[in-house]
Structure 1
Amino acid sequence: MRHQHRADAIVRAVVALAAGVLYQYAFAPYLIWPLTLPAMALIAWAVLGRGFWFGALCGALFGAGFWSGHIMWLTEYLGAVPWIALSGAMTFFCAFGCALGGYLTRRRLVRQTHPALIALIWAVVWTAREAVFSRMPYGGFAWGEAAHSQSNAPTIGLSSWVGLAGLSLALVFVSTLPVTWMLSRRPVRRPLVVGMALLVLGMLVPAWGAIVPSQGSVRIAAVQGNANAGLFSNAQPGEILANHLAAAREIMHDDFDVMVWPENAVDLDVLRSRQAHAEIEAFVNEMGRPLVLGSVTKRGDDFFNSVVLWLPKGMSAPTGLTDGGVDTAADSVVLGVDPTTTSGGPVQIYDKKHPVPFAEYMPDRWLFHPIAPDLVDLVPRGYTFGQRTGNFQIPTGDDAINAGVLICFETGDTDLIHAAVAGGAQLLLAPTNNADFGRTPESAQQMAIARANAVASARSLVNISTVSSSAVIAPDGRFMDRLPDFEPGAMVQNVPLQRSLAPSFFAGPVITWGSVAATVLLLVGEVVTRRRDRRLRQQVTARSGLI
């Protein structure tokens, strides 16, 4: 009997590892989205009913199999240490979630709880784990979520009704149904049929952006300068700006309403550098239309990863915009900018609210410096967390559009996207800089996440990079235009605008935080029930001893 238990444990552990390896092929750059279903089914079979510690072991094996391959791009320039650290942390979080799943389902399987309820509990715990660890610690890492694997799948439309968290929950639930029936020693034919029916139904649900008419459009020019803007770039000051100016001048007289450049497209502080200010001012005034550009800016002692809205002379910003415009500390050293006027120049700034930990700022330097001093010293200063609104009011002729701005990895931050849509965003602009990751799958994975969030929010999204994965994405997830990687170029497209709120705007946060609350309540209830049962057993044992 002991040998059978040991053999069963080994088989489950191997299956958990294989499931993690399989799972990564559902994501970019492979995008074999159906593989999410068997991967979820296999890890559920390995974990459910096996208790806390064995669940943790299987979760760790699954996480190692998935994360070690999924984020291998971290080694491109930084070597093995950051890759080991991040994949190790994400593996730990995965192990913790699977441990909770094993713990919460052990007694329920023994007591023949309905298999559908067990599958739902597992799906809720999985979704809660994704929700929590995409936000913490240090702002989390919103990567590798089940819903992200569906960016090119017919199921992605469901996310505009229930949010990405709801889509993750649905995928895990459907995948787990036949597993829980099998573990309960019941025929699996019915749950297989039900699961397939639910999957087909999910595939037939249209995206909100596909069935709700757009409310107008804006013609956007997006420029990829193919600039070496990475952390270890040897570019001369002003070279990256020159690259984007060269690519932009090719289309500056075409028909469009606003031009968008990537994150870090201006490698000089556009608010303080005389050279950068003069070149941008001359370009925008000649173009005669607004420019949205990325630049590192300094105000006082703080550095920010910023996106700036720059207007040509003679174009007035929307009323009241100067209240959130340029800081006085910067204005004093910028030539030709009067912060009291609404005619031309930099009129609105968005500072990145979610800088990337260990890259754009170093949390707890005192703790990590003794561990990896050379790597920590690569981040000599950190960006300050932005506090400004991410909603740009961009003049377009006689009107203005409301554009939600997200910088780089913020395209995975559903809270920021929700806030932008709540602030009236009619579309999303996502300037990004993928130069640090070379030709690795990182940019493709980021693109998939941006695409999934475009559908979930029912908003068009313009993802414009310095080097790769630049695209215009429609609210239903279609690619309206794309640029070749590592080539300078530009896209000019009529981008649909949307004012209506998709059902996911309301359902997404409810499912996200509802899954977290439900997991906590299930855990508390399980602990209380086990203590009560233990106390009852002790009382029965004491009474039988007296007899």
Structure 2
Amino acid sequence: MRHQRRGDVIVRLVFALAAGVVYQYAFAPYLIWPLAVPALAMIAWAVLGRGFWFGALSGALFGVGFWTGHIIWLTEYLGAVPWIALSAAMTAFCALGCAIGGFLTRRRLMRQTHPALIALVWAIVWTAREAVFSRMPYGGFAWGEAAHSQSNAPTIGLSSWLGLAGLTLALVFVSALPVTWMLSRRPVRRPLVVGVVLLVLGMLVPAWGAIVPAQGSVRIAAVQGNANAGLFSNAQPGEILANHLAAARQIMHDDFDVMVWPENAVDLDVLRNRQAHAQIEAFVDEMGRPLVLGSVTKRGDDFYNSVVLWMPKGMSAPAGLTDERDDGAAEPAVSGVDPTTTSGGPVQIYDKKHPVPFAEYMPDRWLFHPIAPDLVDLVPRGYTFGQRTGNFQIPSGDTANDAVNAGVLICFETGDSDLVHAAVAGGAQLLLAPTNNADFGQTAESAQQMAIARANAVAAARSLVNISTVSSSAVIAPDGAFIDRLPDFEPGTMVQDVPLQGSLAPGFFAGPVITWGSVAATVLMIVGEVVTRRRDRRLGQQITARSGRI
């Protein structure tokens, strides 16, 4: 196990592949979170100290073992091509990260650098790789990050102190520490004890929301219509809206402050279609409370994946309510409604800022159409990237303020840490996450998305209402506990008091620092390693030349 024999190359490669297979069982839908530690230890043992190219090969095998199983749900409706393409891309990113890890640790192990420093270098590189490729290319794919494997673990509380990036850093470090000690030919007992102590301490750190008392609450009704809202849905126009109206009418006269519907719950443009507009208006006016709903909207030549705050007639809009862009520029009034009046209607709208590439829009169509024309043609038009502020001001009778500030995230945006951070920075006291998982049927996709949303809720120290058209609908407390859940693929409703939080968790500040600090540190380490190797090479050549003259 100390890389003493050349014959163990195959064994290490087998371990790298097995590590990827084991790693996926730490994530949803399995959620066997302790398996993340041995899986991360196995890939560390295969890679550390072995150089760039062996690290790349080991990382590629790890990526194949993990990604091909973790995102198999892509084949549900779209077949094997998108699954193979995305698995290959994420595997390439794994290979690059492991290659850098092998490159940066080879000489450090040879020179007997302290094992804790080597484990830290490896953890920094892993964290940096996740940070970069969850954001690029095309907005990245924030899926399968190490911190997400801890969504139902006691260790998830650490994210409210260090952010999700900090939790990833800590998890990878603790997993690699015994390995680096072993590879450096030192007694293994000490790092095992240290690793166990650090892991236990992480498990004992509670979520920030469990430390700071809730600052009020808002009573929310959430509706899952169990509607066939998938890409290839054969539902008649208005059918999905009818499903949600039917489910919502069962609780419309209950005691709550606001009702929330999923993404695409209104399958007609609620701002332009008279029938849909009239139905929503009549329902909200009868209910007498605000409604947050998802609808595809068109303004000018642009289509948007939108969430709308609809007010009943006679209810005053919160003081200071504006409908503006993130850059402060004024937006045209939504559907001609003045939000400062009491006329009701759509007073605020949020357009999805991070549409999913290759699904909600097609990047570089000129490049990908010749490769897979049938698949590219499934996305004939793309959603425009939203620019509006994602913080809704929702009236509430249970708070001292005029309104509750709710940060809105649509579907996959719950995995975008930057958008979550922006919502909290905008004053969000809770998070609303309307989503539509119908495209993926009864696969693991919705469970994985729920785990990601749960992890981000704890990291942000905010309650989160995840409401879907079909599956994985739940109300989540700031400490990650489920306040309420709905059965999958059944119409249902939840009416719950949702805790509000105005304080900022330490992770709000530490998370971005660790995220971008790990990227900067990795770049600096690469530059330093290249410069050092060139300098040592020149010195070696000079010594050889002098020896020849002597």
Pairwise TM-score range, normalised by the shorter structure: over 0.9
Instruction: Describe the SS at the equivalent of 1:462.
Output: strand
* Letter matched to residue 379 of structure 2: V
Over 3 Å counting, the alpha-carbon distance change for 1:160 and 1:330 in structure 2 is closer
**Cα separation, 2, equivalents of 1:504 and 1:194:** 24
Deviation at 1:445, TM superposition (A): 0.3
Cα distance in structure 1, aligned partners of 2:217 and 2:4: 65
Tell me if the contact between 1:324 and 1:349 (Cα under 8 Å) persists in the aligned partners: no
The runs of 4+ residues in structure 1 deviating greater than 6 Å are none
Residues in 2 aligned to 1:407 and 1:321: alpha-carbon distance in whole angstroms: 21
- The answer to whether structure 1 residue 442 and structure 2 residue 445 are counterparts is yes
Q: TM-score, normalised by structure 1?
A: 0.97
> In the alignment, what sits opposite 1:188?
188
User: Does residue 46 of the first structure (1) align with residue 50 of the second (2)?
Assistant: no
1:533 match = 536
Question: How many aligned residue pairs are there?
Answer: 541
Identify the residue that residue 427 of structure 2 maps to in structure 1: 424
- Judged with a 3 Å threshold, the aligned counterparts in structure 2 of structure 1 residues 191 and 328 are, in CA distance, closer, same or farther, namely closer
| 8 Å CA contact 1:210, 1:476 repeated in 2 | yes
Q: Pairwise mapping of residues 124-523 of structure 1 onto structure 2 (< 5 A)?
A: 124-324=124-324, 328=332, 331=335, 337=337, 341-397=341-397, 399-523=402-526
Could you list the per-position Cα deviations for residues 266-317 of structure 1 after superposition, in whole angstroms to 9, with x for gaps in the alignment?
Answer: 0000000000000000000000000000000000000000000000001121
C-alpha displacement at 1:541, in angstroms?
1.0
Query: Separation in 2 of the partners of 1:362 and 1:15?
Result: 37
Contact 2:314 2:342 in 1 (8 A): no
Across the aligned residues of Structure 1 and Structure 2, the Cα RMSD in angstroms comes to 1.5
Is the CA contact (8 Å cut-off) linking 2:369 and 2:376 kept in structure 1?
yes
Q: Which ranges in structure 1 are unaligned for 5 or more consecutive residues? A: none
**Cα deviations across residues 66-115 of structure 1 (Å, max 9, x unaligned)?**
00000000000000000000011000000000000000000000000000
What TM-score do the two structures reach when normalised by structure 2? 0.97
* Alignment-mate amino acid for residue 207 of structure 1: A
Q: Which letter does structure 1 place at the counterpart of 2:384?
A: T
CA distance in 1, matches of 2:281, 2:339: 15
CA distance in 2, matches of 1:164, 1:110: 32
Shift of 1:329: 8.4
Give the counterpart letter for 1:313 in structure 2. K
Q: Is the 8 A contact 1:97 1:125 kept in 2?
A: yes
Contact 1:159 1:455 in 2 (8 A): yes
Partner of 1:86: 86
Q: Is the 2:160–2:461 Cα contact (8 Å) retained in structure 1?
A: yes
In 2: Cα distance, 1:43 partner to 1:167 partner: 18
Matches of 2:331 and 2:390, distance apart in 1: 16
Structure 1 stretch displaced more, 6-15 or 500-509? 6-15
What is the deviation of 1:319? 3.2
Which moves more between the two structures, 317-326 or 248-257?
Answer: 317-326
* Preserved CA contact (<8 Å) 1:299 1:327: no
- One-letter code of the match for 1:41? A
State the 1:130 CA deviation: 0.4
**2 CA distance for matches of 1:227 and 1:513?**
41
Task: Find the counterpart in structure 2 of residue 33 from structure 1.
Answer: 33
Deviation at 1:8, TM superposition (A): 1.4
Secondary structure of 1:313's counterpart equals coil
- C-alpha distance in structure 1 between counterparts of 2:323 and 2:515, whole Å: 34
User: Which AA in structure 1 matches 2:41?
Assistant: A
| Aligned sequence identity (%) | 89
Preserved contact between residue 160 and residue 506 of structure 2 (Cα < 8 Å): yes
Shift of 1:5: 5.1
Amino acid at match of 1:466: T
Q: Is the 8 A contact 2:317 2:340 kept in 1?
A: no
Contact 1:299–1:330 (Cα < 8 Å) also in 2: no
CA distance in 2, matches of 1:197, 1:4: 30
